[in-house]
């Protein structure tokens, strides 16, 4: 790994690294905040997945999470949102597909199938890299915003036992049924919509028992959604996930926050409560 920067904050250290990734077959960048406790002991990790157009820097610079993370002894790891350095047709023509918009899936359609394997990167490669090189435990939680909220939910639902807790801010909960998801899934996964379901949190919740059996893990979902979010009705549709959870008895806390929009002002207002939620689960 190549260290790009190192900055002290609230007694801990924010570090950015670049490395060669096997999952995306190219360079990837991620950031890690190590709380002061990491100087003397191993600490648990929260993986944060960012939204459309973001890099690893958006959350680290805007969320205001370090004071509470330092207090709780919680490391935070934030990857980039897509491979970089490729030059595929249409890859940079819009904000909601291609560069900066990997959607945390494993693409199956050429040319994106060659490198856009963000799911494998986030779930397998990055935790292995972090746990091998930093003073952290194998206790993990996952959270995210918007596209990253979708990513956090599917990572947790598809991998029982891997994460101790999951939360999300304004997640895309039903991507098979909204313009952002339909565009991305068509480009990454193809026209056969039956193949999209395994990347849809609402579908995964509805079919959890069928796919994993009666002993399927029912990790509680903790979600904040701003009521003044411009994307609420057309793209986010939290009521779809809420209905699915009610149908199958899956635990969910969906807090609708009056007046809040889709921005990092919203995230920074409630990030402490999410960190406390994860810290409790991580012990």
Catalytic residue ranges: 146, 229, 262
For residue 17 the two structure tokens come to 């690294």
List the one residue out of 121, 93, 167 whose CA is nearest residue 20: 121
The whole-angstrom separation of Cα 9 and Cα 14 is 7
User: Is residue 261 within 8 Å of 230, Cβ to Cβ?
Assistant: yes
Sequence-ordered list of residues with C-beta below 8 angstroms from that of 133, at least 6 positions apart, any chain: 1
User: Is residue 83 within 8 Å of 115, Cβ to Cβ?
Assistant: yes
For residue 177 the two structure tokens come to 């049924």
The whole-angstrom separation of Cα 46 and Cα 122 is 12
């Amino acid at each position: 790994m190549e260290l790009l920067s190192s900055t002290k904050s609230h007694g801990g250290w924010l570090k950015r690294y670049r490395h060669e990734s096997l999952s995306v077959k190219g360079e990837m960048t991620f950031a890690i905040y190590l709380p002061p406790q990491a100087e003397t002991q191993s600490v648990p990790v929260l993986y944060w997945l960012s939204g459309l157009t973001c890099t690893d820097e958006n959350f680290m610079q805007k969320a205001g999470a370090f004071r509470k993370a330092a207090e709780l002894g919680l490391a935070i790891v934030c990857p980039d949102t897509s491979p970089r350095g490729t030059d595929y047709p249409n890859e940079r023509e819009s904000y909601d597909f291609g560069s900066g918009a990997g959607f945390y899936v494993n693409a199956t359609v050429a040319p994106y199938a060659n490198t856009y394997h963000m799911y494998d990167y986030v779930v397998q490669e990055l935790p292995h890299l972090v746990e091998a090189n930093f003073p952290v435990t194998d206790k993990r939680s996952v959270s995210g915003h918007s596209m990253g909220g979708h990513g956090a939910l599917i990572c947790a639902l598809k991998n029982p036992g891997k994460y101790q807790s999951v939360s999300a801010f304004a997640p895309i909960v039903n991507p098979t049924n909204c313009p952002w998801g339909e565009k991305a899934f068509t480009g990454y996964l193809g026209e056969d919509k039956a193949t999209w379901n395994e990347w849809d949190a609402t579908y995964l919740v509805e079919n959890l028992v069928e796919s994993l059996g009666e002993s399927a893990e029912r990790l509680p979902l903790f979600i904040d959604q701003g009521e003044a979010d411009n994307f609420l009705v057309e793209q986010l549709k939290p009521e779809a996930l809420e209905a699915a959870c009610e149908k199958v008895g899956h635990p969910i806390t969906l807090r609708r926050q009056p007046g809040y929009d889709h921005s990092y002002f919203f995230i920074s207002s409630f990030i402490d409560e999410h960190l406390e939620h994860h810290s409790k689960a991580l012990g």
